[in-house]
Structure 1
Amino acid sequence: MSAKKLLALLFVLAVLVGVAVIPARVGIAPVSAGATSRPSLEEGGVIMQAFYWDVPAGGIWWDTIRSKIPDWASAGISAIWIPPASKGMSGAYSMGYDPYDFFDLGEYYQKGTVETRFGSKQELINMINTAHSYGIKVIADIVINHRAGGDLEWNPFTNSYTWTDFSKVASGKYTANYLDFHPNEVKCCDEGTFGGFPDIAHEKSWDQYWLWASQKSYAAYLRSIGIDAWRFDYVKGYGAWVVKDWLKWWALAVGEYWDTNVDALLNWAYSSGAKVFDFPLYYKMDEAFDNKNIPALVSALQNGQTVVSRDPFKAVTFVANHDTDIIWNKYPAYAFILTYEGQPVIFYRDYEEWLNKDRLKNLIWIHNNLAGGSTSIVYYDNDELIFVRNGYGNKPGLITYINLGSSKVGRWVYVPKFAGSCIHEYTGNLGGWVDKYVGSNGWVYLEAPAHDPAKGQYGYSVWSYCGVG
């Protein structure tokens, strides 16, 4: 009996006795294994953006998130990113990006309401505690470029009345006046303003004390209720030193530096000590997957025009968020970010409303269990992309084959990492259980299904060693 036939027989016997465990569906990686195998947030685990713009008002959102947590934990989510929790100028209608009283998380009557749009402080704490009970960390959205909703006062630096009187905040904490905003006696301005709102002067010791640099600060307050990490909004508006100093006190973070200049993003990331959303990759994925221009994406990856290609440990990758949702061909985009390098984010509405949840659960499992190590691109054209993850630690690596065409495709590819091995297709997109044997010379014929989600054809396949699961 040849070695190849012997290997095939041994593999079949292993399946029959239950050694190769892939129980959820024939040919599909288990979607319930994530709860025990998911990496931590710090190790690059998958983040769920747990909101979208204008989520339902009425104080129900913290409870809504809480109800989703068991499923998200089962799916393998490592952390959730929640919206800004403080009382905003718009009261019960605020999405939190117009912060008025940083220390009102839904417990004081002001701006026409006690609860925030999302609920009460206690409901927020209950949600955080539930997340922690399932091993999920909570990332708070931090809006500290500006404040909103203050009263009018005379401002000698502008020679006019400005909305900079925050002496009446119901919490009684972090009161402020015109001296706490630009222009002031220190300087006229900083890196940027937003929406005409009063621009916080982060160089003032009073503002630092109340925002992050003390045990009575806003950051300390959020930590006291269980917040684990931070997502900083509009970091173009103030110096990277602010986030760097914040992180000396309070754990890890990611910043929203909305720009396609990868040098600017990495300069900010290295100066702040935080990770950064990979906006250059986001726009290249739109070009590649919506316009069948995969060479543009590959060129950007090979020439260091994305954060993930320059420093994957600084890159947070995404397909959509509450501010921007331009990629309509989302399945190949999620297949890409969940099998490529970088730390991926899943958008709430994609997971809960718009896409096939089982497809995303499957990709999360693949990310958590297979997708490790450096990347080698082995083939691409306008419609097709094939790359190998070379494995690291307990993640053995994988081969991703993305096909944007309307017909099933196949190619011989050289994947020396898997030479002489049995490899299994872990998405089920090819229909049932599919194994291949990579030649000792490293060559194998791989296939990817047609891309037509309306017909249940998802246009990608993912391969790794047989028996992982």
Structure 2
Amino acid sequence: MGQNGSLIDWVLTRLRGYPRPALERMRLSHRSTPDNGLMIQFFTWDSKHPNMSWWQHFETEVPRLADLGVTQVWLPPPNKAMNETGQGYDAYDLWDLGEFDQKGVVSTRWGTKDQLVHAIEVAKAHGIDVLIDAILNHKIGADRTETFEAVPVDPQNRLRDLTPPREIEGWTAFDFPGRKNHYSTFKWTQEHFTGLDWDHKKRLKGVYRIVGGSHKGWSKFVDSELGNYDYLLGADIDHRHPDVRQDIFAWGEWVLKTTGGAGFRLDAIKHIDRYFLLDFLKHVRRATGREDVFAVAEYWSANVKLIKPYIYVFQGLVTFFDVPLHHNFYRASKAGARYDLRTIFNDTVVKFRPGDAITFVDNHECQIGQSLESWVGANFKIVAYALVLLRGEGHPCVFYGDLYPNEECYDARVANALQVFMKARKLYAYGDRTDYFHSRNCIGFVRSGDAQHGGCAVLVSNADQGHGAQGVIHSVRMNVGTNVGPSTFNSMIGTGSVDVSADGWGTFTCLPGAVQVWVKNDFAP
């Protein structure tokens, strides 16, 4: 495929059918149980605990998370950042997990290596796996500058050179003096990067493609946004360089064995050579002897057509955050009653390939003020969480900021509802699903249950809440299954019950703009 070629065209011309869905081949829990799996992103952008390290905070919350049905935790990047407050996305040294005196501190923002390892041990004892946030696209915070040839390119079209090659001074030498060759002796120089965004010699910001020597330019196997989306920020890693590949492959094996982690969240894959990532995952599986290593990729696009080819290319080794579904939630929260709930799953990963979808409502990058701001409003967020947690398709991920009190994005109503839905997922949301997409402002569904778990009936509404004060409520007739016999279904939200006939039919109600969940068994919060 040429540099300007379309990934979609490239895939379609070679399409031999999609691989088996990724989720059915991955471990979703540290224990093999018939219970639903559930992921939580255990941090917000500015997370900081006032009395303990973040790793210690996570450890203390493990029993509660297990009780709520969490089986996987996505923790923030454990690597040393460019400064002591860095979240880790400003990756300096992947091999320093808070163990060496580098960047003026031993601990990372989140804690020490020993605290991380101990917290993961506690999590596994409670049946919870931990995912390592892998920042493999770039490095930031070099130890010294180097002088080399580079070409400034148009930031809006990285395939267009602005001037001939010229000498620049860049922060590209990573010596890691504080680590003293522990774990890895590899030192990074300009030959291991494709580009950077700062000429220290002239104090000029831009996007510079490094040229000369063995440099091959931007990778062709990245997203085509901005002409070529290899470059994102910092010193952009050249994943084709054999020494780079060897070091990162070794790190992937080491970090899972060292920490006890069960898999990866892969950051910013739009910008990373996709064949490198595929080889990385294959290597880690072979080296650890685990064919069920979990991996979820962040490909940030609301257009499911752009994600489909990546699903094909990664051969069932990667799941994908359902960003299109998140954007549907975001648009629905803005549109209010004007949004047709019957279309909420249109053009999403979970509708196209539920076995490859990690569904979510919000995360740290969606928060207000962040570069990908698309925060789902509180009223609709409750609806959204009911849909991702209880319908049964995809593998859901809840957000720390929606569950735990914090100064950035907490809403007590959302947190209270979320806890109920997490409990309902753990105890009741099993078996086949029957949809009752009643009207544009009210949709419902029934989960039939299985031998070990009860089922549930759910209604969600985005109607104007003012209608409820006038006595207008949604009423939907749904069948919960002939196996339940004459029975009563009780509300998990507030009070109320629904009588179900011998043939399984009952009339379920919901206030405008609300969510209602019914279960046959009594609910004890």
TM-score by length of 2: 0.72
Match of 2:332 in 1: 288
Out of 229, 234, 255, the residue aligned to residue 297 of structure 2 is 255
State yes or no: 1:327 paired with 2:376: yes
Out of 331, 337, 355, the residue aligned to residue 313 of structure 1 is 355
SS at match of 2:101: coil
What's the offset of the Cα at 1:383?
Answer: 2.7
Match of 1:75 in 2: 68
What's the offset of the Cα at 1:255?
Answer: 0.6
Question: Cα deviations across residues 338-363 of structure 1 (Å, max 9, x unaligned)?
Answer: 11221111111211123354532321
CA contact (8 A) 1:232 1:253 kept: yes
Out of 246, 259, 264, the residue aligned to residue 230 of structure 1 is 264
SS at match of 2:119: helix
SS at match of 1:132: helix
Out of 415, 422, 431, the residue aligned to residue 479 of structure 2 is 415
CA contact (8 A) 1:292 1:382 kept: no
- How do 1:22-37 residues align onto structure 2 when only pairs under 5 Å count? none
- Cα distance in 2 for residues equivalent to 1:436 and 1:39: 37
The one-letter amino acid of 1:135's match is G
- How do 1:120-131 residues align onto structure 2 when only pairs under 5 Å count? 120-131=112-123
Match of 2:441 in 1: 383
- Cα distance in 2 for residues equivalent to 1:86 and 1:414: 50
What's the offset of the Cα at 1:427?
Answer: 4.6
- How do 1:13-162 residues align onto structure 2 when only pairs under 5 Å count? 45-56=37-48, 60-89=53-82, 91-150=83-142, 151-157=144-150, 159-162=167-170
What's the offset of the Cα at 1:116?
Answer: 0.7
Match of 2:400 in 1: 348
SS at match of 2:492: coil
- Cα distance in 1 for residues equivalent to 2:65 and 2:175: 41
Question: Cα deviations across residues 94-140 of structure 1 (Å, max 9, x unaligned)?
Answer: 00001111111111111111111111111111211111121111011
SS at match of 1:208: helix
TM-score by length of 1: 0.81
Out of 240, 248, 263, the residue aligned to residue 203 of structure 1 is 240
Contiguous gaps of at least 5 residues in structure 2: 1-28, 152-166, 195-209, 223-228, 286-292, 368-374
- Cα distance in 2 for residues equivalent to 1:187 and 1:264: 26
Match of 1:26 in 2: none
The one-letter amino acid of 2:172's match is T
In structure 2, the CA distance between the partners of 1:383 and 1:292, relative to structure 1 (3 Å rule), is: farther
CA contact (8 A) 2:30 2:124 kept: no
What's the offset of the Cα at 1:52?
Answer: 0.6
CA contact (8 A) 2:30 2:129 kept: no
What's the offset of the Cα at 1:415?
Answer: 2.9
Match of 2:515 in 1: 460
* Structure 1, 111-120 or 285-294: larger mean CA deviation: 285-294
The one-letter amino acid of 2:266's match is F
In structure 2, the CA distance between the partners of 1:196 and 1:410, relative to structure 1 (3 Å rule), is: closer
Of all paired residues, the percent bearing the same amino acid is 27
- Cα distance in 1 for residues equivalent to 2:36 and 2:218: 36
In structure 2, the CA distance between the partners of 1:266 and 1:381, relative to structure 1 (3 Å rule), is: same
SS at match of 1:93: coil
State yes or no: 1:268 paired with 2:286: no
The one-letter amino acid of 1:316's match is I
What's the offset of the Cα at 1:170?
Answer: 2.9
In structure 2, the CA distance between the partners of 1:418 and 1:270, relative to structure 1 (3 Å rule), is: farther
Match of 1:13 in 2: none
Match of 2:462 in 1: 404
How many residues of Structure 1 are paired with residues of Structure 2 in the alignment? 418
CA contact (8 A) 1:73 1:134 kept: yes
- Cα distance in 2 for residues equivalent to 1:240 and 1:372: 36
Match of 1:298 in 2: 342
Match of 1:364 in 2: 422
The one-letter amino acid of 2:218's match is C
CA contact (8 A) 1:88 1:100 kept: yes
- Cα distance in 1 for residues equivalent to 2:334 and 2:101: 47
- Aligned-residue CA RMSD in angstroms? 2.9
State yes or no: 1:187 paired with 2:229: no
State yes or no: 1:221 paired with 2:255: yes
CA contact (8 A) 2:123 2:129 kept: yes
Question: Cα deviations across residues 182-238 of structure 1 (Å, max 9, x unaligned)?
Answer: 1462520122245531111111221111112x4xx2442333221111101111001
What's the offset of the Cα at 1:157?
Answer: 4.9
CA contact (8 A) 2:477 2:505 kept: yes
SS at match of 2:40: strand
* Structure 1, 185-194 or 45-54: larger mean CA deviation: 185-194
In structure 2, the CA distance between the partners of 1:71 and 1:160, relative to structure 1 (3 Å rule), is: same
The one-letter amino acid of 1:446's match is F
User: Structure with the greater relative contact order (CA < 8 A, sep ≥ 6): 1 or 2?
Assistant: 1
In structure 2, the CA distance between the partners of 1:449 and 1:351, relative to structure 1 (3 Å rule), is: same
- Cα distance in 2 for residues equivalent to 1:108 and 1:87: 9
Out of 427, 436, 445, the residue aligned to residue 507 of structure 2 is 445
Question: Cα deviations across residues 258-300 of structure 1 (Å, max 9, x unaligned)?
Answer: 1011122232133222111111111112233442357545225
CA contact (8 A) 1:284 1:297 kept: no
In structure 2, the CA distance between the partners of 1:419 and 1:128, relative to structure 1 (3 Å rule), is: closer
SS at match of 1:436: strand
- Cα distance in 1 for residues equivalent to 2:32 and 2:187: 37
- Cα distance in 2 for residues equivalent to 1:169 and 1:57: 30
In structure 2, the CA distance between the partners of 1:430 and 1:467, relative to structure 1 (3 Å rule), is: closer
